[in-house]
Amino acid sequence: MDIAVLGTGRVGRALAAGLHELGHTVVVGTRDPAATLARTAPDSMGTPPFSAWQAAHPDIALASFADAAAGADLVVNASNGAATLDVLTLAGAANLAGKVLLDVSNPLDFTHGYPPTLFVKDTDSLGETIQRAFPQARVVKTLNTITADLMVDPRLLGASVTVFVSGDDAEAKATVVALLTAFGHDDVIDLGGIETARGPEMMLPVWLSLASTLGTTRFDFKVVR
């Protein structure tokens, strides 16, 4: 498939590289490709500049959000949750229409410091918000409870872990489950419609708490049954 990954951070890079390794043609989308490539210093989290990453991944192109989405069969939203609606608007509703929109974002609000709170929860979710804003996209929420490296290589943990999918379109979910399986996920639970994204999104507080307690983000949840 031709896949657009919207977002140049750790999550976007991991997914872009993972999807490329599976044999897909991947274009990473960003707000301003020239500005993204012009950065030479690590960001505030210590992530190396995108240009350094791209040098190691020469087959993955960089384009504007709109150009990336326009050429894609499937679009991955790997943008910061707070920026997601803006990013998808720039990608363009017409460029998302009819396409699977694999959404891994979380509604984290860092404006009051750390730990972040959730800017949507309980009676709504970011997954639902995206689906309402882009009704012709086929939104599938998944992978939001897992750190970037493990999204595309869950076997790093050496034990089976669980990944959730939520979405209203059964065919879109099947496409996403096939990608997850190709990444090595052996326990995918389909929770139901996009409203079930509330559950995995509300796991972020315990996820952040665990990351702090365990001193690592390399962990994941297994639903034992």
Contact residues: a second copy, CB under 8 A: 117-118, 121-123, 157, 159-161, 164, 189-192, 196, 198-200, 202-203, 205-210, 212-214, 216, 218-225
Write down the least CB distance from residue 73 to a second copy, Å: 28
Write down the least CB distance from residue 88 to a second copy, Å: 24
Residue in the structure block whose two tokens are 């950065």: 39
> For residues 64 and 145, which CB has a smaller minimum distance to a second copy in the complex?
145
DSSP structural state of residue 98:
T
Write down the least CB distance from residue 30 to a second copy, Å: 31
Altogether, the residues listed in the chain come to a count of 225
> For residues 51 and 216, which CB has a smaller minimum distance to a second copy in the complex?
216
Residue in the structure block whose two tokens are 């897992």: 146
Write down the least CB distance from residue 218 to a second copy, Å: 7
> For residues 52 and 156, which CB has a smaller minimum distance to a second copy in the complex?
156
State the maximum Cα–Cα separation within the chain, in Å, rounded to a whole number: 50
> For residues 132 and 218, which CB has a smaller minimum distance to a second copy in the complex?
218
* Residue partners of 99: CB distance under 8 A and separation at least 6: 69, 72, 73, 74, 75, 137, 138
* DSSP output for 20-86: HHTT-EEEEEES-HHHHHH--S--TT-PPPHHHHHHH-TTSEEEEHHHHHHT-SEEEE-S-GGGHHH
Residue in the structure block whose two tokens are 């960001």: 43
Q: What angle do CA 30, 15, 71 make, to 5 degrees?
A: 50
Write down the least CB distance from residue 119 to a second copy, Å: 10
> For residues 9 and 199, which CB has a smaller minimum distance to a second copy in the complex?
199
